[in-house]
């Protein structure tokens, strides 16, 4: 497990992530332009139900990653356990869809379409956890394949055959299936164990640990459902989902650090964390700049009717930036915990471990988020605020919580290692981003061609984007030696690339 190359896996994850986002935006372009706001909002609600139930799969994937990283061969037990769990979850999905349809204007039969995504999403997540434990870069490549496959299928099902939401669901199902095949191929050496009921029993026995750890995700995932129920509308969800598809690009700056987790599990070495943080910040500043500065033209490209939702993109981009920023302290705190290396650890020890403390901290912050959001939506749903304004405040509430949570985690992680924040480098990156912004303000009116036809608008958007990114990279390379070293190291890693 010492063979895990943190920088290689991080760079590959980042590059794959950016390419994945590009293909993901093409998929969004197909879907958003073809579906009405009501249909797109319903799709967002449907997928949030799948994502919400997928969280329960963590009782398998949490332990598979940690045990694979430590050299234990438990792959087949993990995959088959995940498949069995997904089947048990199906009645819960049906009940959940019925409850939402009864309390909103969404039709039950439309929500029920998502049931085919449950097994494939569960198995895909488990195999990703297996590959994360031994070859983290494969997770990024599989995600890229997932995004690429979705596009031609969506074109056929949504545009050619006009299958509306079912076409989107079918495209997702096929893409998940292809992703699983790819992941299984590269995880095949980890799937040679015999299925062990004893192993499954041990996971179930301590399943409360990952389930407790996932409570924050339950809290943050259910906000879409609460919005639909409280406001009795899916239009706001459509705005939120479209804005998120643009802001989500920022989260890929955190993928640079994804290999730190299995590395810490295997070696407990803090070597390279400072450099990894520096690399994450460099790309985070670039991506947050792209999301914010290009928020309005990007929304116009997806569908001009969502153009006035650019403040939502800005708030979500900043929120995701702080989520990415706390990736490293989260890995440090969780990756150095060893309580689960014991056979049948005592309940009291688990309660004192970071496997319990980390989710406990998150629950406190995200319970506050949900409480504030519910109160806000209940008070202002009939206040005269537009749907865009309400959704913007929804995003801002999430942003404020993320800022406080990030500050807390960075402070808490100092108990395990002191991570020096690269202030000087950050200032240089901000200088590069300032040049990016100034160039955009001076040239956007000349380059961007705002016409309803996507074929007229997209070329000008790509030209402006490439020029702005070139300005950022050029300025930072000019004023920062570490940036020059970063790109040299990327070229070296590319030359050494092997699956």
65 with 157, same domain: the answer is yes
The reply to whether 173 and 37 lie within a common domain is yes
DSSP secondary structure of 148-206: HHHHHHHIIIIIIS--HHHHHHHHHHHHHHHHHHHHHHHTGGGS-SPP-HHHHHHHHHT
**What is the pLDDT, as a whole number, of residue 483?**
85
| Distance of alpha carbon 87 from alpha carbon 62, whole angstroms | 19
Which of the listed residues 394, 421, 448 is the one where a domain comes to its end?
421
Quick one: 117 and 146 in the same domain? Answer: yes
3-state secondary structure 376-400: HHHHHCCCCCCHHHHHHHHHHHHHH
**Same domain, yes or no, for 126 and 170?**
yes
Asked which of 121-130, 244-253, 312-321, 471-480 is least confident by mean pLDDT, the reply is 244-253
Q: Which 8-state DSSP code applies to residue 74?
A: -
Same domain, 202 and 257: yes
Closest CA to 330 of 251, 257, 269: 257
Do 167 and 301 lie in one domain? The reply is yes
Q: Identify whether residues 411 and 487 lie together within a single domain.
A: no
Q: What is the tens place of the pLDDT at every residue in 395-443?
A: 999 999 999 999 999 999 888 877 788 899 999 999 999 999 999 999 9
In degrees, rounded to 5, the angle at the alpha carbon of residue 423 between the alpha carbons of residues 418 and 426 is 125
pLDDT greater than 50 at residue 1: no
State the Cα torsion 12-13-14-15 to the nearest 10°. Answer: 50
Q: What is the pLDDT of residue 498?
A: 57
Statement to judge: residues 292 and 439 lie in one domain: no
pLDDT beyond 50 at 337 = yes
477 and 364 together in one domain: no
- Residue 190, CB-side half-sphere exposure with 13 Å CA sphere: 27
Same-domain pairing of 412 and 444: no
CB 74 within 8 A of CB 276: no
Among residues 137, 422, 419, 78, the alpha carbon closest in space to that of 263 is found at 137
- The model's confidence at residue 272, banded by pLDDT at 50, 70 and 90, is low
pLDDT number for residue 372? 96
d(CA 311, CA 198): 52
Residue 160, domain member (yes or no)? yes
User: For the chain, what is the largest distance between any 2 Cα atoms, rounded to a whole number of angstroms?
Assistant: 67
Q: Are 224 and 45 in contact (CB under 8 A)?
A: yes
Domain boundary (388, 421, 454) is at: 421
Measured CA to CA, the distance from residue 169 to residue 114 in angstroms comes to 7
Rounded-to-integer distance, Cα 404 and Cα 354, Å: 19
Q: How many domains does the chain have?
A: 2
Query: In the structure encoding, which two tokens stand for residue 433, read together?
Result: 């981003």
Taking the C-alpha atoms of 263, 267, 273 and 275 in order, what is their torsion angle to the nearest 10 degrees?
-80
Does residue 428 sit within a domain? Answer: no
Same domain, 319 and 466: no
- Last residue of some domain: 392, 421, 450? 421
Query: How long, in residues, is the chain?
Result: 499
Alpha carbons 391 and 364: distance in angstroms, whole number: 23
Q: Is 498 exposed, middle or buried (0-12, 13-18, 19+ CB in 10 A)?
A: exposed
Range(s) of the domain holding residue 486: 433-499
Q: Are residues 114 and 29 in the same domain?
A: yes
Q: Say what the pTM is.
A: 0.84
């Amino acid at each position: 497990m010492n063979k895990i190359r943190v920088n290689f896996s991080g760079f590959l994850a980042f590059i794959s992530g950016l390419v994945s986002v590009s293909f993901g935006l093409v998929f969004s372009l197909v879907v958003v332009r073809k579906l009405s706001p009501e249909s797109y909002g319903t799709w967002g609600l449907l997928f949030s139900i799948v994502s919400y139930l997928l969280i329960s799969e963590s009782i398998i994937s949490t332990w598979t990653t940690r045990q694979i990283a430590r050299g234990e061969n438990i792959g087949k037990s993990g995959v088959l356990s995940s498949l069995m769990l997904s089947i048990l979850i199906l009645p819960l999905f049906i009940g959940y869809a019925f409850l939402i349809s009864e309390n909103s204007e969404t039709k039950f039969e439309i929500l029920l379409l998502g049931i085919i995504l449950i097994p494939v999403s569960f198995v895909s997540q488990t195999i990703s956890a297996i590959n994360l434990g031994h070859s983290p870069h494969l997770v990024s490549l599989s995600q890229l394949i997932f995004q690429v496959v979705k596009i031609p299928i969506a074109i056929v099902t949504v545009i050619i055959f006009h299958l509306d939401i079912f076409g989107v669901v079918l495209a997702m199902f096929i893409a998940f299936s292809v992703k699983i095949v790819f992941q299984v191929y590269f995880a095949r050496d980890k799937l040679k164990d015999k299925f062990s009921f004893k192993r499954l029993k041990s996971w179930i026995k301590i399943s409360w640990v990952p389930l407790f750890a996932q409570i924050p995700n339950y809290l943050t995932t259910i906000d879409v459902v609460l919005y639909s129920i409280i406001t009795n509308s899916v239009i706001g969800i459509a705005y939120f989902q479209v804005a998120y598809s643009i802001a989500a690009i920022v989260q890929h700056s955190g993928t640079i650090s994804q290999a730190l987790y299995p590395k810490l599990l295997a070696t407990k070495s803090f070597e390279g964390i400072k450099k990894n943080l520096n690399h994450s910040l460099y790309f985070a500043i670039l991506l947050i700049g792209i999301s914010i500065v290009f928020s309005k033209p990007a929304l116009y490209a997806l569908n001009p009717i969502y153009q006035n939702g650019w403040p939502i993109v800005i708030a979500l981009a900043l929120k995701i930036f702080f989520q990415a920023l706390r990736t490293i302290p989260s890995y440090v705190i969780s990756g150095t915990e060893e309580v689960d290396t014991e056979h049948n650890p005592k309940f009291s020890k688990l309660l004192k471990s970071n496997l319990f403390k980390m989710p406990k901290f998150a629950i406190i912050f995200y319970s506050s988020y949900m409480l504030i959001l519910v109160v806000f939506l209940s008070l202002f749903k009939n206040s005269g605020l537009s749907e865009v304004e309400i959704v913007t405040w929804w995003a801002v509430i999430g942003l404020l919580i993320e800022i406080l949570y990030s500050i807390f985690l960075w402070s808490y992680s100092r108990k395990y290692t002191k991570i020096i924040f690269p202030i000087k480098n950050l200032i240089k990156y901000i200088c590069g981003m300032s040049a990016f912004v100034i160039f955009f303000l001076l040239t956007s009116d000349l380059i961007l061609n705002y016409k309803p036809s996507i074929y007229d608008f997209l070329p000008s958007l790509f030209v402006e984007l490439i020029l702005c990114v070139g300005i950022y990279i050029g300025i930072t390379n000019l004023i920062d030696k570490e940036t020059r070293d970063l790109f040299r190291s990327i070229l070296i890693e590319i030359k050494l690339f092997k699956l």
